[in-house]
Structure 1
Amino acid sequence: MSFSRFLAVCTTYCTFSTLVLAEFDNTLAFSVVPEAGYIDNFLYLSNNEPGTRFYSLSSDVSLTSKSQQSAFNFDANIATHLFDKFEDDNHTNFTIIPKYQFKFSQNQRLHVSALWLKNYIYRGTGLSLGQAEALSKGDEQEILGASIGYEYGTFESQGRVNFGLNYQESEFTTRRADTNRLDTEILHIKSSFDYLLSGKTYLAFDLDYKIIDYPNDPLISRDSIAGLIGVKWYTTVISELNFLVGYQNLTFEDNRLSDDSAFKWRVDYTWRPSDFTTLHIVSNRKFDETYRLISSYRLAQTYQIDVMHDFTEHLSVFFAVGINNDEFISPLGSKDEDYLFTTLELDYAYNDRLSFQLSYDYKTLDANYGNIDFAYNKLGISLKLDL
């Protein structure tokens, strides 16, 4: 992983923003969130499920500097997780995201961002699905990325154009003898065009092109192209809809693997029946990168419904339920994994700076191979302090 690339990008952002910092309105936000709770199936096993108490401490910092024409944001999160019975799995994750936006005019915007992420993959999930007891700790993944984009048009325009160029490097830093084949370098070119039909209804076109390179396993290096067409509907503040359907094609550089294609969609619907309730429905289907050592790629389908309701000014509830279907495809065939997950959160805001949250998470896996099915429960209580 090339840290020097990330450092160079961040230095460019900071240098450029410093030139205009004197003209900016600056705000700094900092929060701390301690949490404690219990997990009943820490290793994601199908039987003899071990449980453990857990403790975590996370902090977020956000720096925002704005002027009439530009804005600079620096967001960072760090979280440490500790477990009573599985000390080898204690870990710290972090995410750093600097962003810069410049308005050439009311209709033209340029935005640049970077990403540095370190993530822990728990035993019994991801690469180690069904193999948790064979490992002493989980896997760690590091991602570096940078993006630049250009937008032309507003909600009042007859047409809107978006263009984006993203680059990302990803690698697992543990078990390198096995995981080095999953190192990826991705160049992603995105473009979209929205044409106003009437009112706030747009005819939408999206075109994406990806070059996915596996330096240590060139057999599965490939190109991906996808096109979508549909509507974007923003008739009132009560209802918003994005509905696009299309086609995606994979072309492998090595002719020993067969090219593939699939129907693709993206749906995003928000409904606000009152000032206190919001319903959000999302679904998509797409080819994606694999996170299995024995597969070449995967076809992923997701469906999720979120509901948020404010009982009072201080008390609110959030509920989410979703289904993920992953089809992992290799030269030897395909394997299906169906995941069901639910989340329930009860939030109480004591004042503007202090809030409490009680959360419950439930996950299940139903696979068409092996003895890897599991059920997972997690209960936690946390406190958030905004400084």
Structure 2
Amino acid sequence: MDTHLADWIKDTPEGKAAETILRKCVHCGFCTATCPTYQILGDELDSPRGRIYLIKQMLEGKEVTRKTQQHLDRCLTCRNCETTCPSGVQYGKLIDIGKKIVDEQVPRPAAEKAMRAGLKGLMTNRALFDTGMVMGKMVRGLLPASVKAKIPAKRYTPAWPTSKHTRKVILLNGCVQPAMMPSIDPATSVVLDALGVQGMIVNESGCCGAVKYHLNDHQGGLEQMKANVDAWWPLIESGEVQALVMNASGCGVTVREYGHYLADHPDYAAKATRISELTMDLGEFVAAQSTEALHQLAPKVKAAIQAEAIPGKIAFHPPCTLQHGQKVKGVVENVLRTLGFELTPVQDSHLCCGSAGTYSVLQPELSAELKKRKLASLMAGNPQAIASANIGCLGHLESGASIEVRHWVEWVAEALGR
């Protein structure tokens, strides 16, 4: 694509990055076939190709309007288009640049500003979010359906293992997962413990930075990323830990790209790159263990399935942040089959469920339609339950599902606990 960026942007880091990405796009349109919002709305400007053109116009100095902002807002940043694109266009990085610049040029209505500020303040403040979630769970049965849907039901939570191992990994001290679904982190540690690995949480770490960054508060997101680098680096530098294991793929894709986000910060660039290199999704890490180790877990899982203590026939929803963001495809599914689960076929498994971080709050109609479509495809194979690998997808799907929705590691941990 031929580009002529305006003087105010062309020599900036954002301008140079955007121009490189724009020049790779050949406007072939393959991306429209796999874009969830284009499939629903049928508007070219609600497709990756259309949004790329809007961003190109903006960076070339053309007028930016509220309409431009709305079309960019409707993007899920699922990055399905990146998987489809034959030219390797890094659309996710481009949309981050475009959304930030359009927000700087087009003032948002007061209600939108308040909503976005509230999401950033609530979701990334552990004390505030934890308090709200605890109170919500206490009165969950009395709440209106719309509010109740945002508060996951109580589930089996295993005890955190007390055994020590020479092999250690870092787990993220996430912002919403510990309060929304407190079973996932201890379940992860139980499975790691069974593999001879100790899961460690560094108290000084926190939100990965994705929430603020994708709400166009780039500076706030970068500060959270730097805080995590500072918290984790002593353990990494000393060689005490061998990996950072992410059990929320939305956080995982962000930490995996710390090297990109902090490339222009001299004090952090090298450290962030090393952290990105050491980051793995939980499914990847489990799959990388010896075949013997996995097969030692399988009999317990199969016994629990046979005893009907856990579901054996499940539909797996691979989060966009796992399959398109991290490019990890089929790995979790293979682990689950190895352990004894039967996976039902899911049509259009590449499409987004509509959660997409704060998207379900900011774009509720589109999000609800995507959830409806996703649940229909997941239920088509008559599974006993639905599994996924990201806190956002889990909470989103659970609010509309007629069967149980869990992180896959929860069922494995429950089987081992028996």
User: Structure 1 length normalisation: TM-score?
Assistant: 0.23
- Larger % of strand: which? 1
Which structure has more RCO (C-alpha within 8 Å, separation ≥ 6)?
Answer: 2
Structure with max Cα Rg: 1
User: Structure 2 length normalisation: TM-score?
Assistant: 0.22
